[in-house]
A and B are shown apart, each in its own frame.
Chain A
Amino acid sequence: MTWETVIGLEIHAQLATKSKIFSGASTAYGASPNTQACAVDLGLPGVLPVLNKDAVYMAAKLGLAIGAKVAERSVFARKNYFYPDLPKGYQISQYELPIVEQGQIQIELDDEEKTIGITRAHLEEDAGKSLHEDFQGLSGIDLNRAGTPLIEIVSEPDMRSAKEAVAYMKKIHSLVRYLEICDGNMQEGSFRCDANVSVRRKGAEKFGTRAELKNLNSFRFVERAINYEVERQIDILEAGGEVIQETRLYDSEKNETRSMRSKEEANDYRYFPDPDLLPVVIESEFLEQVKATLPELPDAKKHRFMQDYSISLYDAVALTANRELADYFEDVVKTSGSESKLCANWVIGDLSGFLNKNNLDISESPVSSEQLAGMLARISDKTISGKIAKQVFEGMWNGEGTADEIIDKKGLKQVTDTGLIEKLVNDAVDNNPQQVEQYKAGKDKLFGFFVGQVMKASKGKANPAQVNELLKKKLADS
């Protein structure tokens, strides 16, 4: 029996406003508990919400970027339930009339593209946090996060594997950062998601019963949680059982999902329009203004990179994954005058590798685009080889100066003096008669051995092309 997985994601992205969605309290992360919870955030008696203009602006930006309908009129509603991190006893959200509807986005899978539908995106306020450290058996409530603006992006059930779900989530993650509407910081909870997962027999039209997976705060967890959940559901179905519709919490330590019994109790949120807030009306003029501030979006950039720089889809996706990286790459190409493929390889390869290893963002890279360009120029003009470049790059990473300074200081300049190289080649051949004999007898692989000898003697600085050429000649002659 083959099964098909059906996944829809609800992504919560914290909007990068300075103040909260309905109050003037700061949204800065990491403040001491309740120091950024004003009377409105605390839901004290008599206080009232007033909507933040930038939250509306950012939502409209997202709407335009995913080709969606930005609603002329949207309405805030109250979602009523009791929870200690929800000070008013209701969350202000959008229900019947969200600000963004019917958008879509492209994801890339290996060398294919796929369109994922976005049902809606709506504005809402975040809740606070319950801290479970022991206060004589009590819980502590920190309401600093209460009232932070969120945009909830709800996809269509268009994804068919955990891999697709991750690709979609990464794409949205990249998009919100491009738009500068969310810092995308998953550790701080600025970008998180719930996944609706179901399975059905291949070819079936009806969706299976879904489970909602909560608390997926990293790409890796999304993938693992979905895979676990799919297995779990298939096991149930194959054993003749039935999947129940429920909310399940992903436990990353045990790598399993488990039923959230506290949410089992039927929720009746009693949504109704918030009488403290009037309808949000977006006029076409405002929308035009927003449009004018839109940057080049990842998909457009991706296609342009493939065309302008003759690079593969794979490279283009990697380079456009975030705006700073794409800008960095373009700076490098422009400044170095080097071949774009070489630039792409270095940015995606060594640079990204170093950044990942050191857990740094491109904006925090110790090697500036100018420095990298300087080094690539030296590869292009054959001052150094690609191999030596790795040494130069490490030097730059460690703050030893520019490529030229390092090449100079360490004497890494490539040897292109034919006479000198010829001497080294001669030495290598003359000092190893046994290998020469074997080579002549047909052991071609030994060519590399001679190259190695020459490079070793030149401390890696001999121009490899010249070495190859002279070695071939010498070996043929001897």
Chain B
Amino acid sequence: MHNKTLSELSQALQSGETTSQALTQYFLDRIQQHDGQLNSFITVTPELALEQAKAADELRAQGKAGKLTGIPMAHKDIFCTQGVRTSCASKMLDNFTAPYNAGVVENVQKAGMVMLGKTNMDEFAMGSSNETSFYGAVKNPWDLDTVPGGSSGGSAAAVAARLAPVATGTDTGGSIRQPAALCGITGMKPTYGLVSRYGMIAFASSLDQGGPMGQSAEDVALLLEAMSGFDERDSTSIDRPVADFSADLNNDIQGLKIGLPKDYFGEGLDPEVNAALQTAIKELEQLGATFEEIELPNNKLAVPVYYIIAPAECSSNLSRFDGVRFGYRCEDPVDLVDMYKRSRGEGFGAEVKRRIMVGTYALSAGYYDAYYLKSQQIRHLISEDFKAAFKKVDVILGPTTPTPAFKIGEKADDPITMYLSDIYTIAVNLAGLPAMSLPAGFANKLPVGMQLIGNYFDEAKLLNVAHQYQQRTDWHRQLPEQFA
């Protein structure tokens, strides 16, 4: 049951082979059984889940069920869920019960899906290994000594271990794609503005974007359809009708032009990861795609640019966590400044504090032009590089990460090395483009992710390529032995 795709689960519910309540209980049991090892959930909500499942079964009985009605899923703990703790994996919000639902949570609920709980993540989505969580590190189901990636590491691990059929994530610099790659699942960061940011706790507003994580491109397409849509409460939400992301899945990709960025296959890429990708490229060639090398000359500056823009925005976004209206307040503050400083000093973890300080510094008097303005200018150049590339090719292909999953603790004390693990994913967020990662084999018995980058609003095209590839390969159907 747990290895079924969304379509298969939908079919099983439709035919009466199972009920939403039974299915929900099944996944709750799996969480109970396995999550002790993984730590992929911060909060599990069995009662609420079963209540929602019951309602879904009733809807189905009334003939009002949609495609996803009654199918269980999990939300990254960055999405506000009314009446349920929404912690962002921070001590700061350990006591925070959201008073409203995020736009994404509402949409998924409207589609009739059942929430199993809230998944673990890097604190405030700041991290690439899920080690910065206040609730402890998440383990990679493929090797419990390695990281699942981050920041949506809990969602990735839960889907990889089949503790949930699908899950939501957010991606600011690779936070959906990188953990999807390291855990051997499929995940997509949509075009900026496609998924509502309302109720999604902000890290870096101009980069953050919610997206789906699942076993296959088809599952990801279905969840994206449920998640996305215009939201008038988000000024950056795009007012356009929800596309049918599954419509193009079965299109032929004969003649599709795929670009291979020279820099993405150069120094720093693990040879085994490269080997897996070369095999994948051959598969796609056999499907009729053609390849050409492309240049993204400013891409090499994506990491430095990102480490100004993201911290600058986060330093301001996280000012609201001040111990006044919600969240953690320190014990016995002697005065106002003491309350601020200790609440924030004690409530935030080290990586969050680091980034707030970097951002505060970059925006402070005398440095603004040299750092913030300069980064925005290079951001423009990076975006122009992509525009030029998409005049020549339909889709860009490359690795998602330079290496497979690394050991827990390996990079924890070295922020720079950690930051460089997002070297291939960050540029996409700076430009606001859609991109996805899908399983493309193994390196040292650990999953390898292949990244596909599309032009604005080309989600359906990316999913089409991914689906065609997944029709020929079964990397996405594999799961770690101990969770089989």
Measured CB to CB, the residues of A under 8 A from B are 39, 42-51, 78, 80, 82, 84, 87-90, 141, 268, 270-272, 275-278
Q: Within the complex, what minimum Cβ distance (angstroms) separates B207 from chain A? A: 8
Per-residue contact bits, chain B 318-345, to A (CB 8 Å; 1 contact, 0 not): 0111101110000000001000100000
Q: Which residues from A are CB-within-8-Å of B319?
A: 80, 82, 88-90
A47, A48, A82, A89: most-surrounded residue (chain B CB, <10 A): A48
Q: Which of B15-23, B218-226, B227-235, B389-397 is the contact stretch?
A: B227-235
Please name all residues of chain A whose beta carbon is closer than 8 Å to the beta carbon of B365 when the two chains form the complex: 268, 270
Chain B: minimal CB distance from A87 (Å): 6
Q: Once the chains bind, are B235 and A89 in contact (CB under 8 Å)?
A: no
Contact A276 B324 (CB under 8 A): no
Whether B88 lies near A80 (C-beta < 8 A) is: no
Measured in the bound complex, the distance between the Cα atoms of B340 and A89 in whole Å is 11
Q: By DSSP majority rule, is chain A's interface helix, strand, loop, or mixed?
A: loop
B320 nearest in chain A by CB position: A43
Binds A, one of B95-103, B131-139, B182-190, B250-258: B95-103
Q: Tell me the B residues contacting A by CB distance below 8 Å.
A: 79-80, 86, 88, 93, 96, 98-100, 102, 197-202, 204-206, 232-236, 312-313, 315-316, 319-322, 324-326, 336, 340, 360, 363-365, 368, 372
Contacts of B100 in A (CB 8 A): 39, 44, 47
In the complex, chain B residues whose CB is within 8 Å of the CB of A46: 79-80, 98, 102, 197-202
Cα of A88 to Cα of B319 in the assembled complex, Å: 6
Give A76's nearest chain B residue, CB to CB.
B235
Given contacts A89-B316, A270-B365, 8 further A-B contacts (CB under 8 A): A44-B320, A45-B86, A45-B320, A89-B319, A270-B316, A270-B364, A276-B202, A276-B205
Which residue of the partner chain B has the closest CB to A45? B201
A233-B322 Cα distance, complex, nearest whole Å: 39
On chain B, the residues within 8 Å of A89 by CB distance are 316, 319-320, 322
A276 engages B198 (CB within 8 Å): no
The 6 closest A-B pairs by CB, nearest first: A89-B319, A270-B363, A275-B205, A275-B206, A46-B199, A43-B320
Write out the residue numbers on chain A whose beta carbons fall within 8 Å of the beta carbon of B80.
45-46
For the complex, give the distance between the alpha carbons of A89 and B321 in Å. Answer: 8
The answer to whether A45 and B363 have CB atoms under 8 Å apart is no
A80's contact among B316, B321, B326, by CB below 8 Å, is which?
Answer: B316
Residues of B within 8 A of A277 (CB): 235
Question: Do the beta carbons of A44 and B326 come within 8 Å of each other?
Answer: yes
Q: How far is the CA of A45 from the CA of B322 in the complex (A)?
A: 11
Which of B93, B201, B235 counts the most chain A CB atoms within 10 A? B235
Inter-subunit contact A45/B234 (CB<8 Å):
no
CB atoms of B99 and A272 under 8 A apart: no
B236–A276 CB distance below 8 A: yes
Given contact pairs A39-B100, A45-B88, A82-B340, A276 touches B235 in the complex (Cβ within 8 A):
yes
Contacting residues, chain B, for A43 (C-beta < 8 A): 320, 325
Do the beta carbons of A48 and B320 come within 8 Å of each other?
no
The CA-CA distance from A43 to B360 in the complex, in Å, is 19
Q: Which residues of A contact B102 (CB under 8 A)?
A: 46
